[in-house]
Amino acid sequence: MQTVSMNVNGKSVSGEVEDRTLLVEFLRENLRLTGTHVGCDTSQCGACVVHVDGVSVKSCTMLAAQADGSDVTTIEGLASNGDLHPMQQAFKDNHGLQCGFCTPGMVMSALDIVNRNGNNVDEATVRKELEGNICRCTGYHNIVKAVQAGAKNMGA
Partner 1 sequence: MYNFSYQKVSSIADAVEAMQKAEDGKFVAGGQTMLPTMKHRLASPSDIIDLGGIDELSGINVDGDTVTIGAMTNHAAVAASSDVQSAIPALAKLAGNIGDPAVRNRGTIGGSIANNDPAADYPAAVIALGATVNTNKRQIAGDEFFTGMFETALEEDEVITSVSFSKADAAAYMKFENPASRYAIVGVFVVKSGDGVKVGVTGATPCAHRGMRLEEALNGNFSADAVDGVEIPVEKMNADIHASAEYRAHLVKVMTKRAVEACS
Residues near ligand FES (CB under 6 A) are 38-40, 43-48, 58, 60, 97-102, 135-138
- Work out whether strand 2-8 and strand 11-17 pair parallel, antiparallel, or are unpaired: antiparallel
Q: Region of 69 please: left (phi>0), alpha (psi -120 to 50) or beta.
A: left
Least distance from C-beta 18 to partner 1, angstroms?
6
Cβ proximity to partner 1: between 71 and 112 the closer is: 112
Restricted to residues 36-75, the positions that interact with ligand FAD (CB under 6 A) are 43-44
Shortest gap between Cβ of 5 and ligand FES (angstroms)? 23
Q: Which residues does 9 contact at the CB level (< 8 Å), separation at least 6?
A: 33, 72, 73, 74, 76, 77
Question: Is residue 125 close enough to count as binding ligand FAD by CB under 6 A?
Answer: no
Residue closer to ligand FES, measured from CB, 78 or 135: 135
Q: What is the DSSP annotation of 11-76?
A: EEEEEEE-TT-BHHHIIIIIS--TTS----SSS-S-TTEEEETTEEEEGGGSBTGGGTT-EEE-GG
Please state the closest distance from residue 56 (CB atom) to ligand FAD, in A: 13
101 binds, among ligand FES, ligand FAD, partner 1, none (CB under 5 to 8 A by kind): ligand FES
Under the rule (CB under 6 A), what is the footprint of ligand FAD?
43-44
